[in-house]
Amino acid sequence: MLKCGYTSVCEFHYVHHAQDGARYPRHEELARRVVDAAGEAGIGITMLPVAYQYSGFGETPPRDDQRRFIHSADGLLALLDALRSAAPEHAGLRYGIAPHSLRAVSEPGLRELLAGLPADAPVHIHVAEQTAEVDDCVRSTGLRPVQLLLDRFAVDARWCLVHATHVDAAETAALAASGAVAGLCLTTEANLGDGLFPAVDYLARGGAIGIGSDSHASVDWRAELRLLEYGQRLARRERNVLAGASEPRVADRLFAASLAGGARASGRAVGALRAGCRADWIVFDPDHPSLAERGSGHWLSGAVFAEHGETPVLDVYTGGEQVVEARRHRDEAAAYAGYRRALAALLR
C-alpha cells in the first residue's frame, strides 16, 4: 500500500479468535499484531475491530465458519480497552469500531457499542452493498439500510458508510447532508459485481467520499479513482462525468475529495500539508511515461488515467520519515521474505 502511495489505512479488522472460536490469552492479540505491523511498515492506521454477532437479519445465529469473528458488544469494547492500554493512540494510530453491517449487528447491539465509545471515535459500517441486502433489510425492518441508519441513529461526520452502493434519491440526499463519508471500494465492488454508487448526484450535493481497497483486489488508489470515473461514464455514456464546476479536471477533483473524506473517516489529522496535520506526502517520478513532459498541473490526470506499467509514485513519506525510496520500501527484502513464509504456511 505504501509503495502505491497510500499513507494511511482504516483497518476493518475481522479476525479476533482462534480457529475454534476460543479467545487468545491476550484478548487483543490479532488486532495488536496488525497495529504493530502498521507501525513497522510506517503506514498510519485507524484500527476498527469488527463487531459481528449474527449471520443475517432477524438475529440469525452465526455459522460455525464465522466463530473467529463473533463478539458481544461488551467483549468488543473490552478488546478496544485492551488495545488502548497496550498501544495508546498517537498521530499515526487511532481506534474506532466497525459494526459489520445491519445484518450482522442488531439495533440494540449497535446502540450498546456506540454508548461505549468516545463521542468522536470513528464508526465504519458496511451498508447497501448488494441488492439482496437491501431486500432482506426491507423484509426484516420495513426500511432500506441507509434509510434505517439515518432515521434511527445520529449519523454524522465520524461515520463512514462503506459501499452504500444501492441508495435511492432520498437516501443519497440525506447521506450527503449528514456529513458522513461514503467509503467507496471500486475495484472490490467491480470484482464482486455489486453495482455503481450514484456519485454524480451525491457529489453535486456536497457529499463526502473516501476510497478503500476492501478485499485488496487492488491496493492502488489510482485504480480506485479511475474506476470511479469510468463506471459513471459507462452508466451514463458520457465523458468527464465527475468534473466539477470549480475543478474541471476529474482526477484533481476526485483526489482532493478522497483526501478530505479519507482523513475524516480515519479520525486522524491527515490529508493535507498544514500545521497540525501529520506530515505525510508522496513524490511523483517526473520521468514516468504518464507524467513526462507534462506540467505538474496535469500530473494527477496522467497518474490516474494513463496506465503505463509501474506506479509513478517514486518516494513516500509518513510522519516526516521516508518509508519508500525509488519505489522500494525501506524493509522490502525482510517484508517480502516474511510474506512468502506466511503464505507458504497458510497454503500448505
**What is residue 313's three-state secondary structure?**
strand
Q: Identify which of 207, 137, 193, 127 has the alpha carbon closest to the alpha carbon of residue 166.
A: 127
Chain centroid, CA 13 distance in Å: 11
Q: Identify which of 221, 213, 204 has the alpha carbon closest to the alpha carbon of residue 259.
A: 221
The angle at the Cα of 149, spanning 147 to 151, to the nearest 5 degrees, equals 65
Q: How far apart are CA 332 and CA 222, in angstroms?
A: 22
From the candidates 163, 166, 252, 285, give the one annotated as an active-site residue. 163
Residue 41 and residue 323 in contact, taking contact as beta carbons nearer than 8 Å? yes
Q: How far apart are CA 242 and CA 253, in angstroms?
A: 8
Q: How far apart are CA 8 and CA 84, in angstroms?
A: 19
What would the DSSP string read from start to end of 232-255? HHHHHT-SSTT--SS---HHHHHH
163 in catalytic set: yes
**What is residue 284's three-state secondary structure?**
strand
> What's the half-sphere exposure (Cβ side, CA atoms, 13 Å) at 160?
32
Q: Identify which of 259, 212, 267 has the alpha carbon closest to the alpha carbon of residue 92.
A: 267
214 in catalytic set: yes
From the candidates 194, 214, 220, 285, give the one annotated as an active-site residue. 214
Q: How far apart are CA 217 and CA 12, in angstroms?
A: 15
Say what the alpha-carbon torsion angle 27, 121, 8, 178 is, to the nearest 10 degrees.
140
Residue 52, sorted as left (phi over 0), alpha (psi -120 to 50) or beta, turns out to be beta
Catalytic residues, by residue number, are 163, 214
